[in-house]
């Protein structure tokens, strides 16, 4: 249906300006409404406008405007199935075309210089100059190619590109796999460290079978090398670490039997003079000396190691008095596990030297041994001076990547020796971690898988 409205609401509209400026009462006009409030399908319009002037003596202007259904006309033209592209234009503006250009949501398209037309007819309807244009026949081949472009591209893909791609893939498969296999064989001449299996084996042909056989050969060779060479080297490194620990003890050893006899004589004289405290300290010193020089066995029960630590801490408490206090705790079931000799004592000694000696006030040392989640945990905590964040990080980095070569250095040699021996005993499954805060104290955490203690140590003893 139509609507009636006042002209003062239409001021500025394209159709009203066109009819007011026209020298005729009936016009055909095209225009585009660029207004977001108007639906997209009604923005492109072609309208017939007539001035109603039958009663000329009236003082009011009256107009009737009929809007043509642009979308319906565009669909009708496209449905005519012309064999050639046909354009209906006014000036350079394309009103309709069976080649498209009928989007109702955008302004009218323009003719371009590239468009060639073989036929043109001009005529006028209600003051609008119209042109019917038919494209050049020479463009028919190009138009046909354009219309059938998807099919042509598909044929090109099937007949040319796919065979070439298939050949490239087959060639790459052969050449790539042979190159990887050749590089793998070249690595055999560079030693056992360069023996690596070939990853991402593809194909079940002869080359794939050869690569699988090569991988089996590499795995078998590595097993033999580990059995014959690396196990022997690991035992040698353990012996070196044990000898290094023994040498550290021998630095202070001068005729042990003579020293023990002298200490025993002093202890007996102290008992005779009723100096029981001094006699007790001398007895503990003798225990320490015997443990240091007795290297007939590199392993010791945890309970014996803790007795040695207790004797050491008693001597230190005798030295420092109330300035040093200690507490040793061990959970039931952990007493009979074996450790490399003097490993835990080394960390306790470090707590005394760098904890109690460097602090003016009292220092507490806590030694804890317990079992949890299939691992043995040992902690040595002191409330001494502690270390800075940078020093703690550097020490952790050193203990994490410690090797036999690090024993040649002088700093932290005792801790490094203990850490190396623990890692060798557990096949690098033992972890030593340090947490410290300047002015607060230091805690050393040692974790060892239980199965390494039972299998590695007990089987060696059997």
Residue 255 has pLDDT above 60, yes or no: no
pLDDT digit string (tens) for 236-248? 777 776 666 666 5
Check pLDDT > 60 for residue 459: no
Q: From CA 394, how far away is CA 407, in angstroms rounded? A: 16
pLDDT averaged over every residue in the chain:
78
Alpha-carbon gap, residue 282 to 285, rounded angstroms: 5
Residue-wise over 80-115: b if at least 16 C-beta within 10 A, else e? eeeebbbbebbeeebbbbbbebbeeeeebbebeeee
| Residue 207: per-residue pLDDT | 76
Q: Which of 50, 55, 53 is nearest to 65 (CA)?
A: 50
User: What does the pLDDT read at residue 228?
Assistant: 74
**pLDDT at 258 (0 to 100):** 43
HEC readout, 34-100: CCCCCCHHHCEEEEEEEECCCCCCCCCCCEEEEEECHHHHHHHHHCCCCCCCEEEEECCEEEEECCC
Q: How far apart are CA 163 and CA 458, in angstroms?
A: 67
**With contact defined as beta carbons under 8 Å apart, do 31 and 14 qualify?**
yes
- 50-59, 208-217, 255-264, 273-282: least confident range: 255-264
The pLDDT of 169-198, averaged and rounded, is 71
Q: What's residue 458's pLDDT?
A: 42
Q: Is the pLDDT of residue 192 over 60?
A: no
Query: pLDDT: is 409 or 102 the higher one?
Result: 102
Query: Model confidence over 384-433: pLDDT tens digits?
Result: 888 999 999 999 988 888 877 776 665 667 788 888 888 888 888 999 99
Of 175-184, 256-265, 449-458, the one with minimum mean pLDDT is 256-265
For residue 84, give the nearest of 50, 120, 110 by alpha carbon: 120
Strand partners for 94: 89
pLDDT tens-digit series, residues 31-88: 888 777 777 777 788 888 888 876 666 777 888 888 888 888 888 877 777 777 888 8
Distance separating alpha carbons of residues 178 and 197, to the nearest angstrom: 14
Where are the chain's structural domains?
1-81+88-130, 148-230, 295-461
Q: Residue 455: is its pLDDT beyond 50? A: no
Give per-residue burial for 118-149: e unless 16+ CB within 10 Å, then b. Answer: eeeeeeeeeebeebebebeeebeeeeeeeeee
Q: What is the pLDDT of residue 388?
A: 92
Residue 434 has pLDDT above 90, yes or no: yes
State whether the Cα torsion 55-60-61-67 is positive or negative: negative
Average pLDDT estimate for 107-128: 85
Q: How confident is the model at residue 140 (pLDDT cuts 50, 70, 90)?
A: low
Give residue 138's pLDDT. Answer: 61
CATH node for 295-461: 3.30.565.10
335 CB contacts (<8 Å, ≥6 apart)? 301, 302, 303
Q: What is the reported pLDDT for 257?
A: 46
State what percent of residues in the chain have pLDDT above 70.
Answer: 78
pLDDT at 328 over 90: yes
Please tell me the predicted confidence (pLDDT) of residue 15: 82
pLDDT in tens, 272-319: 666 666 666 666 666 666 655 555 567 889 998 898 888 888 878 877
Highest-confidence range of 15-29, 147-161, 430-444, by mean pLDDT?
A: 430-444
What percent of the chain clears pLDDT 90, i.e. is strictly above it?
A: 13
Residue 87 in tokens:
């354009």
pLDDT for the residue numbered 270 = 64
Compute the distance between CA of residue 429 and CA of residue 423 in angstroms, rounded to an integer.
6
């Amino acid at each position: 249906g139509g609507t009636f409205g006042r002209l003062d609401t239409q001021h500025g509209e394209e159709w009203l300006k066109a009819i007011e400026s026209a020298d005729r009462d009936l016009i055909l006009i095209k225009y585009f409404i660029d207004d977001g409030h108007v639906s997209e399908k009604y923005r492109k319009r072609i309208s017939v406008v007539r001035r109603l002037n039958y009663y000329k003596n009236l003082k009011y202007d009256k107009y009737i405007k009929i809007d043509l259904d642009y979308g319906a006309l565009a669909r009708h033209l496209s449905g005519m199935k012309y064999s050639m592209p046909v354009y209906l234009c006014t000036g350079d503006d394309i009103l309709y075309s069976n080649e498209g250009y009928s989007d109702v949501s955008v302004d009218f398209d323009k003719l371009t210089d590239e468009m060639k037309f073989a036929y043109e007819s001009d005529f006028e309807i209600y003051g609008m100059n119209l042109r019917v244009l038919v494209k050049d026949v020479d463009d028919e081949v190009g138009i046909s190619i354009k219309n059938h472009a998807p099919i042509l591209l598909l044929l090109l893909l099937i007949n040319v590109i796919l065979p070439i791609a298939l050949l490239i893939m087959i060639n790459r498969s052969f050449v790539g796999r042979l190159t990887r296999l050749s590089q793998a064989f070249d690595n055999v001449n560079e030693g056992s460290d360069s023996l690596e299996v070939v990853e991402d084996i593809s194909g079940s042909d002869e080359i794939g079978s050869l690569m699988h056989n090569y991988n089996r050969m590499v795995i078998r060779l590595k097993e033999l090398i580990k059995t014959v060479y690396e196990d022997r080297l690991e035992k040698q490194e353990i012996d070196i670490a044990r000898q290094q620990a023994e040498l550290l003890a021998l630095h202070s050893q001068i005729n042990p039997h003579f020293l023990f006899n002298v200490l025993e004589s002093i202890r007996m004289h102290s008992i005779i003079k009723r100096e029981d405290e001094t006699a007790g300290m001398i007895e503990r010193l003798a225990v320490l000396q015997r443990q240091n020089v007795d290297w007939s066995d590199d392993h010791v029960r945890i309970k014996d190691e803790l007795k040695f630590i207790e004797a050491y801490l008693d001597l230190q408490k005798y030295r420092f008095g109330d300035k040093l206090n200690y507490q040793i705790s061990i959970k039931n079931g952990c007493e009979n596990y074996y450790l490399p000799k003097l490993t835990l004592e080394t960390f306790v000694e470090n707590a005394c030297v760098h904890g109690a000696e460097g602090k003016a006030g009292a220092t507490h040392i806590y030694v804890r041994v317990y079992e949890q989640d299939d691992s043995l945990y040992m902690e040595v905590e002191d409330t001494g001076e502690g270390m800075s964040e940078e020093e703690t990080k550097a020490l952790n980095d050193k203990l994490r990547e410690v090797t036999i070569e690090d024993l040649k250095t002088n700093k932290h040699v005792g801790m490094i020796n203990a850490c190396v021996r623990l890692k060798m005993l557990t096949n690098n499954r033992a972890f030593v971690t340090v947490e410290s805060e300047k002015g607060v104290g230091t805690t050393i955490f040692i974790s060892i898988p239980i199965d390494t203690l039972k299998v590695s140590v007990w089987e060696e003893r059997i």
